Structure 1
Amino acid sequence: MQDKQIKVLIADDEPLVRQGLKAIVDWSKYDMEVVADAANGETAWEEFRKHHPDLVISDIAMPVMDGMELLKKIKEASPETKVLFVSCHSDFKYAQEGIRHGVSGYLLKTSFNEKEIDSYLSRLQAEIKQATAPLRPEASLDVSPELKEQLIGWLSGDGENEVQSWWRRLEKKHPFLRFPLTVIHLAGSSAERLADRMPERLIRGSRLLRFQLGEQGVILLVARELYPECGDWLRKLQLPDEELVTNVRDGLRSAEEKLETIRMLLLQHRYKRDYGLSVADCPNNIVEAVAFMLAHLHEPISAADVADHVGLSRSYFSLHFKRSVGVSFLDFIDKRRLEQAQTLLASSEWRLQDIAEHVGIPDSKYFSKWFRKETGLTPTEYRQQTKIHP
């Protein structure tokens, strides 16, 4: 498999310098590509957050934000990123401060030469490739495909009775899971990419395990003593909220507590994404109530049934459900039933009676009346307008 190319960002307020660097260097020789360039430090920082380059080549003296400030921000957000300074000045003060903040090299614009550039880029290529090389199989962070499939099956409602034995097998393979644990859920557009670029210091020692779950994001199981470092890394990412959502549960001790936490974090994310439930304000019993409701939409369930299932009084459940979800129990369940009915009408040949029963309204006449009230169309009219033809 071909190695991933090293991404390069060039920042300089002189267009000729930016164009010259892009033109005179044979970037492919170093497995590199220039993904962006910027005329000042502030724009460079925006491009950095957008592209997450492995190497930044930056002038020191730039308008809006200078190279030294850019270096500090990059190193705070991503310590593993390499920064190479270029400047017209040979003042030792610049070099000294840059070294103190983690710069990887210092090139003078007045004495650019191919040999010096080649020396820097060859060295940085080797350092970056070593830092981002895949882990050896025996040191992999990722859980085995078999164990991941079993987790997904359990989360989908299969193998409920087998989950404890599944966890024991996981503990046997990864002994740190037997001790106090932190569970971190990463979601959003950057979750998997960031999980693939974890700093090396967090990977060492086999005290971190990762479930990459596609649209559901990434679950990290972290030895509790490692969490402060992991938390620092997450805080320094400085990504927009829509790119990364982080939810953390710390100090988990029993297997039951750890398993339930994993399940709840993933359910909370799903319901936040699909139904607008607030992850921060939604208690576990309300999340559990939503799971029960969705699994029993085909039955004529009541608020009292759901409240009893989660161990709450009907009045307390109704009040807290509306506070957490933003709509009443009846409005929420009606909307879910309507969505299912619309899907079945548009995509299946089911009889109205079968669809009515499937969404928990066994009386087809009442179903038709209810559907028209909700949509302004009879089920037959809706089907005719939306039918998906093969």
Structure 2
Amino acid sequence: MIRVLVVDDEKIVRKGLISFMPWEDFGMIVVGEANNGEKALEFMETNKVDLLITDLAMPVMSGIELMEEVSQRYPHIQIVVLTLHQDFEYVQKALRMGAVDYIAKTELEKEQFEDVLERIVSLIEQKDSLKRQLTSEEEIEETNDLIVLYALNLQKDEAKIDASLLKRAFEADIGIWYWTDMLEREKESILEWMNSKLEYALIVFQNLKGMDRKSILQLLRGYQKSDLFYDYDPVQPFQIVQSEELLAKEKKETKYDLNRIKEKWLSGEWIYDDAVFINMLHELKAMRMQPIRLTRFFYSLTDEWNRLYSQILSEPITIDDFLSSWFHFEIWLKEIREIIKVINTKTPYSDEIHDSIMRAVTLAQKMIDQPLTAGEIARKVNMSSSYFSQCFKDIIGQTYTDYLREIRMERAKEYLRNSTKTIQWISEKVGYNDEKYFSRLFRDYVGVLPSEYRRTDSKGK
């Protein structure tokens, strides 16, 4: 609570303010009153005061004199002046001396009480924030350890922290708050609040001594952009980070072959072999790809998976536009894996057979521009032609020939919609050297010739 002392030589003014102002609604309590500056100073010697509301024109000691004494003896006390219109020059002097606001007695009416207190509280908070920020610039360079609270997902409106938990915190950036001297009760309150949240992490940065404020803030922001994504663990919401290790890690540039990684995730092996799946997860995490790049990479993979498994999926695979942590990403990936596995358990074949068929599907997609027969692709996945055809139809839901024609026609539609390439070029890209034969197959599948489909789509756009 903000402890308030009201000082005015007119008793009716003092009693009116104390009685009618809705103090408690704004976190305030009137702890005393005085009719002049000397009495006010006597009161402050034995009582704690946070906010002084004082008249300017008073006998014995004026409001200006009282302000000068309070500023020297009790610099933490905020001051608001009471005034009449003719005291304008005094008001200007009072504001220059550090008063946060003034209240004009002649304009003070009951319906304005709430507005006045709301404005005063807001101004006090702004002044406190500025004062603490200046103090922070000195303290942050003197501290060895820093406790930092991160919001994992800045895009969620509901991911907002209770403001009461941040009273003594400094804001380093959007979604980053830090304490140079967090109290134990503050830590307990935040951790208790975080129990019901999966959108925040509390990190202790150690060994910061010797770093300037700019470098420390850069470290906190850099950690938010990459390492936080991988380090977050809801089982351990309060984690320790060694600053020197983080700085050393930033100097190293990780290199990886995205084409090779994509090829592995497009194979069906990770779906049926637990060991392969775990190894691929570990390999991917060790790369510590930038979160936004990881999201884009798997966004493109979902398109490929939807093509590969279109016949067995009841609905398309989707991924959120934003992944808040590796923990959430891994949950999503495991769910996708189980969806595909559960669908495939409806057939009586082993995981090895399912894997072979999925590899055949992947090959068909990759080699879509080549004339691959069922027999040729069966040999590539080490199956006999007849058994392959039977398994393919049972698992995918259509014959290999029908499946190949479908993915070729769908790819052709994409080319027609998104490029200006010739029909002959598109025909060859989807495995048909004869443009007329391709056009006839396309018409049978879509209902119109390729050229008509392109014109219609162009008009629609």
Greater relative contact order (Cα < 8 A, sep 6+): 1
Q: Do both proteins adopt the same fold according to a TM-score greater than 0.5, normalized to the shorter chain?
A: no
If the TM-score is normalised by the length of the shorter chain, which range does it land in? 0.3 to 0.5
With structure 2 as the length reference, what TM-score do the two structures score? 0.37
